[in-house]
Every structure is written in C-alpha cells, then in structure tokens.
C-alpha cells in the first residue's frame, strides 16, 4: 500500500484519452484537452481529470490501463460525492491480481474503450 496520491504523467493521460476516443469514460462528453485546457469547449464548461481506476494508495499503477479521463463532475461522482480518501469500496477486490482489479473496476466505466 502506498501512502500518497501520485498524478499520472501526461503521456499516460494522453494514451488513456485516445483509448477512450477523446470522450469522458463515464458520461461520454467530448474532451478536447486535458485539465482545464478544454473547458471552454466542454458542454458544461468544466475541465477533466485523470482518475485512478485502482487508487494509487492501494497499489494502483501509473499506467494507461489504470487511468480514465473523466469530467470533474464525473470524478466527484466516482469518489462518492468527493470522498477522495475513502477507498472502502475496493475492499471486495483484495484477493484479485492487480490486472483483475483494474479490469473489474474499468468495466464500470461504460466508455473506458471509447
């Protein structure tokens, strides 16, 4: 288990966004840029964020497979309304390999593969 949050490197974020066909992995809104760079073109004027499918503090790697690019609102929703420190929803994955954990949670994002 890792103590801190670690952001995804930009190349990883770009690869994840391309896998998603430049759409939010959750709501499918078109994404024109990472962070706040595409906010003006976003349907609700918000930026997008890189989200760890499996949190870094639970050993989630900084890889494209473990990264989804989602709208700020979708990110808050993914963390139960902004409870970023609460990782209890992952407790049922303890006995799986990391790849199996990623696959299980990634399947919850309807546009993980675009």
Q: Two tokens at 29?
A: 């809104």
Residue pLDDT, tens place only, 37-89: 888 888 888 989 999 999 999 999 999 999 999 999 999 999 888 888 889 98
Biggest alpha carbon distance in the chain?
A: 43
CB-based contacts of 103: which residues, under 8 Å, 6+ apart? none
pTM (two decimals): 0.90
The DSSP secondary-structure symbol of 28 reads -
- How does strand 48-52 pair with strand 67-71? antiparallel
Cα–Cα distance measured from residue 42 to residue 17, given in angstroms and rounded to the nearest whole number: 15
Q: What is the pLDDT of residue 2?
A: 53
Cβ-Cβ contacts under 8 Å for 13 (sequence gap 6 or more)? 34, 50, 67, 69
């Amino acid at each position: 288990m890792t103590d801190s949050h670690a952001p995804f490197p930009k190349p990883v974020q770009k690869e994840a966004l391309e896998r998603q066909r430049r759409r939010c992995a959750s709501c499918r809104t078109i994404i024109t840029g990472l962070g706040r760079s595409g906010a003006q073109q976003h349907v609700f004027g918000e930026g997008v964020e890189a989200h760890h499918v499996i949190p870094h503090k639970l050993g989630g790697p900084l890889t494209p497979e473990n990264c989804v690019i989602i709208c700020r609102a979708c990110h808050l929703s993914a963390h139960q309304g902004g409870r970023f420190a609460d990782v209890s929803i992952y407790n049922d994955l303890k006995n799986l390999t990391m790849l199996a954990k990623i696959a299980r949670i990634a399947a919850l994002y309807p546009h993980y593969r675009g």
